[in-house]
Structure 1
Amino acid sequence: MRIENSFIPVRGVGERTERRLWEAGVTRWEAFDPSAPGVGGTTADRIEAFIQEASTHLQRGDASYFDRQFPSDERWRLYENFRESTCFFDIETTGLDQRRDRVTTVSLHRSGETTTLVRGHDLTADRLRREFEAADMLATFNGARFDVPFLEESFGLDVTTPHLDLMYPCRKIDLSGGLKPIERELGIERELPDVDGREAVRLWHRYEDGDEDALDRLIAYNREDAVNLRRLADRVTGELHDRTFPVDTDP
């Protein structure tokens, strides 16, 4: 689903009104007519005003505007428009305490390229800030509660780039639990299925003791997390599209 298919950001338009518009053939902004069934004059005026304003922001590629306009549980609808400029990222740490533990690696996947930043090498606040500011959207799994606040605490960042935490769209299609079980349920394969978060901590400590191979393995694991987020986002938003948008239309 694309942003242009959506009317739900408009005050007075809920899921039922939006669905009535779709079923009446109003599947894109340019198809809207104030005489559309089930829409009163006031709501029609609001829709027209929204379309005019939103079209300008869409032409500018302003993801932040739509991040503010869409209800939080519907922000997955931004993904199709901003997929290629989305930064999928995942962090590894020495533990779960943001004040005591350290970030060891951060892998970022965007436009088919993956970069891994390593503590003590190129993992710095400035580098993270540049990476996030270069993206229109961020995508994580449980990043709203873990990855983003951990980075903000550890590096003094204020992450303001629109953020799609895939854990919540997964729940909308009854996929619960951690990232790895969800990947297995969807058939998303891994090259390092035996490495998990606890092993990632041990790998970092082995690297600190001089084992360079342990760092290579940690980086490979972290990179796989980031790359698989793209696959997960494609699958989950595709499923949500099929469940939400019951009209055959070109995206």
Structure 2
Amino acid sequence: MTSIHHTKHEGKVALVTGGSSGLGLATVQRLVAEGAFVYFTGRREAELEAAALALGDHAQAIQGDITRQEDLDRIFARIKERHGRLDILFANAGGGEFSPLGAITEAQFDKYFGINVKGTLFTVQKAIELMPEGSAIVVNGSMVSIKGIPAFSIYAATKAALRSMVRTWVSDLRGRGIRVNIIAPGTIVTPGYKSELGLNDEQIQDLVKHASEASPLGRVGQPDEVAKAVSFLASDDASYITGVELFIDGGTTQI
């Protein structure tokens, strides 16, 4: 962690949704280390409190579910009241599960389009009211949006929808000076592989083996490697970058 530039996001106010574990938590840690004050949300109170305790006084947890409009309103009201603005949004909260064609239920479809597409849309829509010129939005997509991973069509489609939305939002925000980009992580093992995807240790090891073989770099990614890319896209270093999809997948989708 010694290589972190402590002033990269000095004085910036950030929000990371789904920030109590996995890629969200890794990004909160990095943004805090780089000088930002970071609000982060999640549904599980215990996980949020544990993360907040570890992060110190430059981060604040807000319990909330992005699928609930009243929760989003409460989250942004808190940010507005305390800071009056938002400079960085990492719209990260999302989920998925495996279900092959023929076994997909209406409940699964509604759940994941509700979280990943609807939830992200309204997170972004409410956030831009607080975002000044020069601020940045990063959306968490996935490499599976362009790959046909078996039994993953609903999740993949939600991420493809987000990619499409980002292109349109860039046009909608013309003249506002707000940049919007999307990341597309590859295989990065996080607690969500168990809690969301329901995989056991053996299945995760198998997945890691196959993903490593598929990647030109010969390995899976680490959460901080995603966090560094989010930090870059959210920073002034990316001041002329908007509307792009950045793959963080060890080259898997590029060959």
TM-score range, shorter chain: under 0.3
TM-score w.r.t. length of structure 2: 0.27
TM-score w.r.t. length of structure 1: 0.27
> Which structure shows the bigger proportion of residues in helix conformation?
1
